[in-house]
Amino acid sequence: MTVSSILSNPNQFYINGQWIDGQGSETCNITDPTSGQVVLTLKNGVTKDSNAAVEAAYNAFNTGPWYNEYTGVQRRDALLKVAQVIDDNKHQIAKIESLQTGKPIGNSIFEAMHGAEVFRFFAGLADKQGGKHFSPNHDQSVSAYTIVEAMGVIGLITAFNFPFILAIWKIAPALAAGNTVILKPSPQTPLSSLLLAQLIHDNQLLPPGVFNVIPGGIEAGSALVNHPHVDKISFTGSVGGGKAVYKASAESPNLKHICLELGGKSPNVIMDDADVEKAAQHAAGAAFINTGQTCCAGSKIHVHKKIYDQFMSALIAITKDLTDRMTTDTSTSSIGPLIDQNQLNRVDGFVQRAIKNNEAEVLIGGERWGQQGYYYKPTVLKSSNLQAEVVCEEIFGPVVTVLPPFEDLDQVIEFESKNSFGLACGIYTNNAKAINTFVKKMRAGSVWVNCFNVLNPYMPFGGYKNSGIGRELGEEAIKEFLLTKSVVSKF
């Protein structure tokens, strides 16, 4: 498969309902992580490209029909059509997604279907946003009400790990609220975003300027963050990147609204009454899904002393099975590669430093798999150093660290209270008291009980502490893209 067999305009940007050439001269190579081979050389977006996209989105919001003429019902129907087109083309979307990320094709098909469901969910909210009326009985001369309005132009900056669904998590609620958007996907994985633009364009689903796509790196993203006509930035990426966006947004000509979905170091807790085999399966899935390139990966595990040995044997056996089923074929492999050589080096660096500094023991894995592409063996580490780098820092690879066995859940909760992240956590138990204690005391945006990484369109997702600001998915997400105006009349 070649990129040009799916994308009609593989080296152009989508601005104001048209495919145009980028104005810069620098290029970026898009590689297939399963082989390391370049599949497309794409122009990087520059400030002029971002400015053109902002102008198109600004004009579309202020004078176009999407916000000024369409009713919520009309926006709903348009987004439902987008969802249907995604469903109808899910296999093409999956092919391009697996080509640029290396993830198993089954995962990519599921993600395309999830994207369609997210559009359907937010389509259902498009005609249900409104204000409130107040008639205070203490003052009959006053009539007061609120108006809910779209923010305006939204800049969306996404990460490489889930290119298609991370974009849709932002696009769908922003459009449902009546905004116009500019999407800047990761420079490593822009192809599925361009395919989404192609599907919208070819089927004439949205008015010009409502949805724009600018591939590129830091320059294109910075131009969005600094532009005075951009009203909000929604960013998914690293903590460092999020803080840079936050600071730049505050220093831009207009103080922008911000949503940041950042990193995590999410703990998985296995209690003594857990179904050990099932818990080990879930824990491996939590750690190794998407090759660990998941902000909410269950990358460290606390296991109760009574079942520690049994659980560890099960976890290692499952990890070995995953490794034995690895191939370089996205249609058969149990796990995909890391995104590029830099990420491979980063992940291996964490493991090798842990070994060198006597901070962890490798129980299985801990090295590159094969010589083709950027594969790394699923890795289980055991560490008794609670301050170790592999215990505290986000690795973003197929590496899970098991901590010393515990006897008291309160000790685990106390330890995790010092976690600088707060994106997610999980617990495996049927003990109602333990569940209630864990849910109440853990400072994390998502708590999973006897499951992990369950992400539904109707459930909000976001973090505490360094894991971010704001929420995606759920009814909370559409409110991230709305403003409330108060109107008071006196007669």
Give the tens place of pLDDT for each residue, 173-217: 999 999 999 999 999 999 999 999 999 999 999 999 999 999 999
Which position has the higher pLDDT, 491 or 119? 119
- Cβ–Cβ under 8 Å, residues 216 and 45: yes
b/e map 300-309, b = 16+ CB within 10 Å: bbbbbeebbe
Kindly state the average pLDDT of the residues 98-127: 98
Helix, strand and coil in the chain, % to nearest 5: 40, 20, 40
Looking at the DSSP bridge assignments, the partners of residue 483 are 149
Query: Is the confidence at residue 273, as pLDDT, over 90?
Result: yes
Query: Is the confidence at residue 61, as pLDDT, over 90?
Result: yes
Kindly state the average pLDDT of the residues 352-381: 97
pLDDT at 2: 83
Query: Is the confidence at residue 140, as pLDDT, over 90?
Result: no
pTM, two decimal places: 0.96
pLDDT at 252: 94
Using alpha carbons, select from 175, 130, 132 the residue that is nearest to residue 151: 175
Q: How far apart are CA 211 and CA 194, in angstroms?
A: 11
pLDDT at 46: 97
pLDDT at 445: 97
Using alpha carbons, select from 16, 17, 122, 13 the residue that is nearest to residue 78: 122
pLDDT at 427: 98
Provide CATH 3.40.605.10 ranges for the chain.
Answer: 3-262+468-490
Which is it for the CA torsion 12, 14, 19, 22, positive or negative? Answer: negative
pLDDT at 135: 83
Output the average pLDDT for the chain.
97
Kindly state the average pLDDT of the residues 63-87: 98
pLDDT at 475: 97
Catalytic, out of 261, 359, 394, 480: 261
Active site residue 416: no
Provide CATH 3.40.309.10 ranges for the chain.
Answer: 267-456
Which element (helix H / strand E) includes 55? helix 47-63
pLDDT at 164: 98
pLDDT at 444: 97
CATH number of 267-456: 3.40.309.10
pLDDT at 82: 98
Kindly state the average pLDDT of the residues 255-280: 97
Residue percentage of the chain with pLDDT more than 90: 96
pLDDT at 138: 83
pLDDT at 139: 82
Give the tens place of pLDDT for each residue, 97-112: 999 999 999 999 999 9
User: Beta strands 424-428 and 446-449: pairing type?
Assistant: parallel
Which element (helix H / strand E) includes 302? strand 300-303
Encode 151-197 in three state secondary structure. Answer: CCEEEEECCCCCHHHHHHHHHHHHHHCCCEEEEECCCCCCHHHHHHH
pLDDT at 192: 98
The CATH label, of 3.40.190.10, 3.40.50.880, 3.10.150.10, 3.40.605.10, for the domain at 3-262+468-490 is 3.40.605.10
